[in-house]
Amino acid sequence: QLQLQESGPGLVKPSETLSLTCTVAGDSMSRSSYYWGWVRQAPGKGPEWIGSVRNIGVTDDIIYYSPSLRSRLTISVDASRNQFSLRLNSVTAADTAVYYCARPSGAYPLIHSFDVWGQGTLVTVSS
Amino acid sequence: QSVLTQPPSVSAAPGQKVTISCSGGTSNIGTNFVSWYQHLPGTAPKILIRDNSERLSGIPDRFSGSRSGTSATLVITGLQTGDEADYYCGTWDSSLTDVVFGGGTKLTVL
């Protein structure tokens, strides 16, 4: 059974970098048929897609970023550890949200329709 | 402002039917499949419908989806109190190269 688990600091200071890792159990990320995604949900707001990644080779990944976050965002895969990560630079209070990792319900090219989600981790941006 | 437009709230009595609309454009709903999610506080969103109308495994047939042109609709029949939640539509936007979601609709079962 596929399981996803987010990990990382729950509190980040303004202007610093938010870093989260998603550990995948029950499927291999190496040369995966799936995109693996990050979605966040700010308090009282709807989901917001952050980006998605698919590992297609030892050093090759296909990555899509949200246009609104692209300038501050890096998503990467460590297939050997079955993990993928996000780094969001120069955070502000507007980045406070529950961050989820998730996998779509079908193989590529499907990049949305997320049917497997991590439990989510609350990240608060505050000094 | 969300790319996809949903009514902020809908309500109906137990046993009744509700319809939740999701309006978009040619670059999103008009050309890409729509998914519907149910979100309860403190939990991850749960996908109900994919590819406009396909129910995911384990989702009751009380939930149904459809798409016409640049709009999609989620219909819930035989409402139960446990259906009270926020509902979101989502799809890919080919022009924005972005996964987009609606602003959400809060369902109240009176």
pLDDT, one tens digit per residue, over B37-69 is: 999 988 999 999 999 999 999 999 999 999 999
Q: Which residues from B are below 8 Å from A64, CB to CB?
A: 97
DSSP 8-state secondary structure symbol assigned to residue A93:
G
Note whether A88 and A75 are within 8 A (CB): no
Q: What is the pLDDT of residue A92?
A: 97
How far is Cα B46 from Cα A117, in angstroms, rounded to an integer?
A: 8
Q: Which residues from B are below 8 Å from A117, CB to CB?
A: 44-45
Could you tell me which chain A residue has the CA closest to the CA of B35?
A113
**Do the chains contact at A48 and B104, CB–CB below 8 Å?**
no
Angstrom distances, CA of residue B92 to CA of A41, A110, A115, B25? 18, 9, 15, 11
How far is Cα A119 from Cα A54, in angstroms, rounded to an integer?
A: 21
| pLDDT of B1 higher than 80 | no
**Do the chains contact at A47 and B91, CB–CB below 8 Å?**
no
Minimal CA–CA distance to A54: which of A100, A106, A123? A106
Distance of CA B10 to the CA centre of its chain: 12
Interface residue B1 vs chain A (CB under 8 A): no
| pLDDT of A31 higher than 90 | no
Exposure b/e, A30-68, CB count within 10 A at least 16 = b? eebebbbbbbbbeeeebbbbbbbbbbeeeeebebbbbee
Q: What is the distance in angstroms between the Cα of B48 and the nearest Cα belonging to chain A?
A: 9
Q: What is the pLDDT of residue A44?
A: 87
Name residue B38's amino acid: Q
Name residue A91's amino acid: V
Q: What is the pLDDT of residue A109?
A: 87
